[in-house]
Amino acid sequence: MRSIVIACILLIPSGVASSASESPSAKALFEAENSLRELTPRLPEMEQEFSNDPEGLLGLASLYERYAVSPALGERSEQLYRKAVTLEPQNKAAFARLALRVLVVFTSRRGRLLEQLEMQRQYALRNNLKEVESLAQGHELFEWLREKEGQSYVVIKDFNEARSRLIQKLDRDLPTVLSILNKGKGLDPDNAVYDYMHASLNFDLGKNEDALLEVERGAEKPRLENYRTQMMSARRKVLLAAGFPNKYREIMEKNELNVGVFVRTDKMFEMAEQYEAKHDLANAKRVYEIMLKAADQLRQESIPGQPGGKRGDNEISRRMEAKAKERLTKIRNEVKEDKTQ
């Protein structure tokens, strides 16, 4: 099952851009995160203090989103992101976080419910059942598949029909997601982050060709910006006001610098391999060349505290480049062989 934190977007893992000596130890990180989770239930008391401060609201929202110890607090994050954007419509950091939150909620719920339905289908197949009627009130799928009020359980006789009906209901929120992604592109046209979010959404919708176009557009843009400086400043403002220990705050800042939206490398390489299998070498080559551009774009990402203010060399870019270059060499050799035959 999908977690709301990872969404369907590649999140760059901690440690990619930092050396082992710079990264916090596992024990220190555990202590810092545990201390922050203990603080989170007290953060609602600070909402009034920051009610007209977009930066403070952004800091609160991001802390709720990542460290909330209850679903109710986690859900507060979207409300505060929206409030920050309302107060300051040109706040690119807040808008990017709001867009990501809306996307994550939509795709996580969609993926989770479709997975649950697939589990029911597999159960029916294993037991040679023509129908499944185990979806009683309380089961998450029940509310989505029931056809009228007063039903006490749901019977699934046709899984294809049930899946279509479920998708139709789930995708009622799709226009809202697309709207916020398109607004983000308009607000921040040179930033690839919205193209990569949109690509991830299309991958989850099964629209792989559309996703590829979005990644291609993103890789051609001047920069990938996750607004790390702004996010770090917003969280620091809240934590300082809350009296959070500086030693823990510094540990958390080092650990969180490397998390952000990027390309779905698994899906991209999977597409390239499918093109190769069909001997569509032109499109396979196209995907690998896009990946090379994205790898370099990741190196140029703005990272506070890094040499030159950029991410620089990192494991993900190296891995992407190595695989893409290897496959491009193979394709070029195949093309040469075809021409000599």
CA distance 1 to 8: 11
- CA 180 → CA 4, 93, 97, distances in Å? 18, 14, 11
User: Looking at 26-40, 107-121, 172-186, which range is the least confident one?
Assistant: 26-40
Residues 6+ apart with CB under 8 A from 95: 85, 183, 184, 187, 188
CA distance 83 to 64: 14
Task: Round the average pLDDT of the chain to a whole number and report it.
Answer: 89
CA distance 304 to 232: 9
Greatest alpha-carbon pair distance for the chain in Å reads: 75
Residues 6+ apart with CB under 8 A from 55: 84, 230, 233, 234, 237
- Long-range CB pairs of 278-284 (<8 Å, 24+ gap) are 281/331, 281/334, 281/335, 284/327, 284/331
pLDDT(132) > 60: yes
pLDDT(340) > 50: yes
Q: Say if CB 24 and CB 36 are below 8 A apart.
A: no
The whole-model pTM stands at 0.90
User: Looking at 49-58, 138-147, 179-188, which range is the least confident one?
Assistant: 138-147
Domains of the chain with bracketed CATH: 189-224+262-341 (1.25.40)
For residue 136, the cross-strand partners are 153
SS3 label, residue 229: helix
- Compute and round to an integer the Cα radius of gyration of the chain: 23
Q: Say if CB 99 and CB 194 are below 8 A apart.
A: yes
Residue 111 is predicted with a pLDDT of 97
Q: Quick: pLDDT tens for 289-311.
A: 999 999 999 999 998 878 888 99
Measured from the Cβ of residue 167, the count of other Cβ atoms closer than 10 Å reads 15
pLDDT(15) > 70: no
